[in-house]
Structure formats: C-alpha cells, structure tokens
Amino acid sequence: MARMKGKYALVTGGSSGIGLETARQFLAQGAQVAITGRDADALARAQAQLGEPVLAIRSDASQVADQQQIARTLAQAWPRLDVLYANAADVTHRLLQDWDEATFDRVLATNLKGPFFLVQSLLPLLGDRASIILCGSTSAHIGLPQSSVYAASKAALLSLARTLSAELHPRGVRVNVLSPGPTDTPALNKLGLAPEAEERLRQDIRQLVPIGRLGTPWELAQAAVYLASDESRFMLGSELLVDGGVANL
C-alpha cells in the first residue's frame, strides 16, 4: 500500500544516513521527494541513488538564507508541501573544557535555528493536514558525557514541537519529534573527536542500548513514514522514541 501517495515531502540532511534512507522509503510509499545537503558531491550521489524525480537542493542547515531559498525553490516546483522531515544536524560532541564559542554557535544554528526558520519559511507552502517531523535525539533524555550542547539543542526541539503545534494545529499542521537512539550511520564518524576519544564514546554508546545493538537507518525511516502518513493524524506535539530502550530502561 502506498501510504504517502500524492504527498510532497522534504527531507533535510537527505544525502546520507537516516535522511537518505527516509527519502528512499518516502519514495517507495508514493511520495514526491526533495532532499537537501551541504556537500554538493554527496548530494549528487544521493540523487543518483534515489533517481531523477528527486529534487536535490544544496543547503547549509545553519544558514537562515539557505532555509529561505529552499522555500522559494519548492514554491516554484511544487503546489504545496505535505511533509517536512527536518533531519539535518550537527552531531559534534566534546568535553566541556574543549568547547569554543564558534562551535557552540554552529551546533545551535544547525540543530535549532535552522529548523525554526525553515518551518517559518515554508508556512505559505504547508498544505492542510501537513506533517512536520523534527529530528530529536534520545540524548535529550540522558546524561551522556560530551553531548552537552548537542543534547541541549535536541531538548529545545521537544519544546518547539509543542509550541509550534499550539500555533499551527488550527490550520491542520501537525508537529512531532522523531528521536533516534544510537544508530549506525556515517554521522558517528563526524563527532569532532580524536580517534581514541571517539572509540571510547562508541563503547559508552553501545553499553547504553538495552537491546545490545545500534539501530539502523531503515528502522528510523519506517518511523518517519508513520509520522509523515495520515496514520499518525492523532499525534500532535509528541515525541516518538526509536532508541532500543535507551531513554526508558
């Protein structure tokens, strides 16, 4: 069954990992899909994997002007937007003493400011019964060392889902959060850590997962399909945790 037939869906950070697999699953469920990414080469490779109908938009999620340009591009190509999956994120992890202002600002700009202004820019395009999915993280619920700024940015999205839901539900727009747990994606190689520190963090992460393994992009993509489809129409301002039990056990 095509659970997203006739829907227009945007996936930010769609050039790899969870975003790329979600775009693939949205297509399989009948949606027309656009993806964004900061790296032009990675974006082109993703578009080639997904096929010509996919609209690929180069965009830096930390730049407000880029978010506004996404909206202009989609307005020229599509009649409306039914699904936004704001998946792009900066996953930098550091010890408290190693943070500097520039890195702090970049993480918050990518993970909070970017999604906020993207939603604002897309308002004229959002159709009736549109679904906005913000990418949270189980890190917002636990005290994982070195995740301070990243986890705080994701916790802010939980609040944003509630407040934006209160504003937007009168026009039929739903806002929810999909929070992955530790997932086997290329993002694990982009934490900004020295090799020894990264391996220690990986070991700590594995020990956190009660079911004893990392999640897969496919598993997260299936949850995104649910939130994007009309099957989740009674969910509003909620969080869907797909984390192997990390936050609850």
> Which of 8, 85, 150, 226 does the annotation list as catalytic?
150
Q: Report CA-CA distances (Å) from 58 to 8, 45, 134, 223.
A: 18, 12, 19, 25
Helix (H) or strand (E) holding 103: helix 101-108
Two tokens, residue 64: 């407000």
> Among 132, 120, 180, which Cα is nearest to 154's?
180
User: What secondary structure does DSSP assign to 149-171, as a single string?
Assistant: HHHHHHHHHHHHHHHHHHHHGGG
What would you report as the CA-atom Rg of the chain, rounded to the nearest whole angstrom?
A: 17
Helix (H) or strand (E) holding 18: helix 17-28
> Among 189, 190, 182, 187, which Cα is nearest to 208's?
182
* Beta carbons within 8 Å of 93's beta carbon, 6+ residues apart: 146, 147, 150, 191, 192, 193, 201
Q: Is 86 helix (H, G, I), strand (E, B) or coil?
A: strand
Residues facing 185 on adjacent strands: none
**Residue 150 known to be catalytic:** yes
Per-position b or e across 40-50, b if 16+ CB within 10 A of its CB: eebbebbbeeb
Q: Which residues are designated catalytic? A: 150
